[in-house]
Structure 1
Amino acid sequence: MAASTALAAAMPPHFSPSRGASEAGVPKKSTISLVAPSARHRRRPARVIRVFRSICRTLPIFTPKCKIPSVACSAFASPLAGTDSGRRHRDLVTGTLFGCRKGRVSFSIQEDPRCLPSLFVEFSLQTHVLLREMSTGMLRIALECGKNGGKAASSSSRTLLEEPMWALFCNGKRSGYGVRREATVEDLGVMETLRAVSMGAGVMPAKAEGEEDIAYVRAAFDHVIASKDTEILYMLSPEDGSGPDLTIFFIRL
C-alpha cells in the first residue's frame, strides 16, 4: 500500500463533505438524548504521564538468566500481543458505518451507543461499494495521512485521529479520501435511532416519499493504539463467527 503524499494539497473538487444522512428522512428537530463521552475519550494523557512513559522507554532491558518456557503460555497468547504489547493502549468502542444506498459512507466512533460520537469521518466511498466488498467476508479499510513535511512542528501535538483528512484504501484499492468533520443534526438523528442497537446490520427505511433508505453496520471494536502514528480498530464478530472480518487502520507516514 503506497503512502499518501498528496494529502497536503487541496481536496479534489468533486469531493466535498456531504450532510451525511440529510436525505434519509431523519427529523431535523428530533430530540437527541445522547450524552457526552467521558474525558478519557476526549483528551490526551496528561503531560506528566507522557513524560513518564518516555523515560520508561529509555531504560535498559535486562534479560534474566533463568528462562521461562514459552510453550506453556503460547495457547493463551493474544493475536494482538507482540514485543511491544506493553506499550499498546486498548479500548472497547462502538463503531458504526452507515450511508444512503446511493450516497457516501460515514463512520463514527462512540464510547458506547448512548454517547455522542468522539470521531466522525466521511468517506468518499459509495455505500453500495462498501456493501459489495463486505459481502466477500473480509474488509480492510486503511486511512493514511502524511506528516506534512515542514509543518511537522505545528502538527506535533495533533493526535492521529485529529488529522483533518486521510487517503482511503478499501481492500488495497485506492478509494478516494476520508474527511474528519463534525456530526450534523441528521447524523445525530441516525445515532439516536440506533441508540438501542449495540451490534447488527440492517436498513433504516425512508420516512417520506422520495427519500432514501439508510444501510448501517454497527459493532463493538477493539481500539488499539499501537503508536502515535498507528491506530487499529478490530471489529468483534458475534460468538458464532457469522460476522465479516472487518479491520480499520489509521496510519500516519
Structure 2
Amino acid sequence: MNHKRHHSTTKTSNASAPKKKAIFLAAIAVSRFRSALAAAVTRHQVRPPRVFGTLYGRRRGHLHLSFQLEAQMQPAALLELQTPTNELVREMATSGLMRIALECDRGGAGRLMDEPMWRVYCNGLRCGYAVRRECRPEDWKVLRAVEPVSVGAGVLPAGAAGCGEEGDEVMYMRAMFERVVGSGDSEAFYMMSPDGHAGPELCVYLLRV
C-alpha cells in the first residue's frame, strides 16, 4: 500500500514538471517581448525639432526675433518687437533668464507663426507689441554675420557687414532652440544649453488666446 502511494506521488510530480517548465518559458518570453517593445519605443521616440533662434537689435533700437530651420535659410518667422534692445539686456543681466510670451487673438486658422500682430510679455510684464514681417536686406546681413555662431552672444561693430548704422552697434544672442508644438494655438521654443545640463536661459511662447 505504501509502495502504491509513493508511486502515485512520483507520477504526479513527473507530470507537473513539464507544466512548470512551460510556465517558466512563457514568463521568459513575455519578459523578452516587453524588453524588445521598450527598446523599439525608445528608438522611435521623436525628439522635438530644433531651430536656430536669434535675438538681435541695434543698441538704441528695437529688438528682433528670428527663427531659422537651417542656419543658411531665410527665417521661418521674423518678429520685430517694440521692446528696446538695451532693456532686454538689462533684464537678462539682472535675472539671468528671460521668458518672452507672445499672444495673439484667437480667430486665425492658419499657421501660428504667420499671425501678423502680437502682445508681448517679458518675464510676466507687458512690454508693447510685436509684428511679423518679411526678412529685409538689413536683417539678412545680420543673420549672415552671425551664421558661424551656434551659441553665444556678442556685439557686431557698427557698419560691420552692413549691420547697423554708423555709431550704433548691433547686439545679438544666438542659440539652438527646441520647438515644442502643443496645439495649433500654442508653441514653445526652449533654448538649448551647450553642456546639456543647465536649464534654458531663454524661452519663447507663442499663444493664440
The number of residues matched between the two structures is: 161
Alignment of 1:177-216 (within 5 A): 177-207=129-159, 210-216=166-172
Q: Does the alignment pair 1:238 with 2:197?
A: no
What is aligned with 2:68?
A: 110
- The one-letter code sitting in structure 2 at the alignment partner of 1:129 is E
Kindly, what percent of the aligned residue pairs are identical? 42
Query: Displacement, 1:207?
Result: 2.4
Change (3 A) 1:228 1:173: same
Alpha carbons 2:53, 2:174 under 8 Å: kept? yes
- Aligned partner of 2:159: which letter? K
Q: Following superposition of structure 1 onto structure 2, how do residues 138-217 of structure 1 map, counting pairs within 5 Å?
A: 138-147=97-106, 152=107, 155-156=108-109, 158-207=110-159, 210-217=166-173
Q: Which has the higher strand share?
A: 2
User: What is the alpha-carbon root mean square deviation over aligned residues?
Assistant: 2.3
Query: Which residue matches 1:224?
Result: 180
Relative contact order (C-alpha < 8 Å, sep 6+): which is higher? 1
1:17-32 aligned at under 5 Å gives the runs none
Instruction: Determine the C-alpha separation between the residues in 2 that align with 1:100 and 1:218.
Output: 15
Residue 211 (structure 1) shift? 3.1
For 1:120 and 1:105, how far apart are their aligned partners in 2?
A: 11
Unaligned runs of 5+ in 1: 1-72, 74-85
User: Which deviations, in whole Å up to 9, do the C-alpha atoms of 1:176-219 show, x marking residues without a partner?
Assistant: 01110001101001111112111110000012883311100000
TM normalised by structure 1 equals 0.59
- Counterparts of 1:58-77 in structure 2 under 5 Å? none
- What TM-score, normalized by structure 2, do the two folds share? 0.71
Structure 2 counterpart of 1:236, which letter?
M
For 2:89 and 2:121, the matched residues in 1 are separated by 15
Query: More deviation in 185-194 or 242-251?
Result: 242-251
How far apart in 2 are the matches of 1:221 and 1:163?
A: 20
**How many angstroms apart in 2 are the aligned matches of 1:201 and 1:210?**
21
1:229 and 1:244, CA in 2 relative to 1: closer, same or farther beyond 3 A? closer
Residue type at the aligned position of 1:107: L
Residues of 1 paired with 2:87 and 2:68: CA distance?
Answer: 24
Structure ID, larger Rg: 2
Paired with 1:161 and 1:210, the residues of 2 have a C-alpha distance of 33
Secondary structure of residue in 2 paired with 1:201 = strand
2:77 matched residue in structure 1: 119
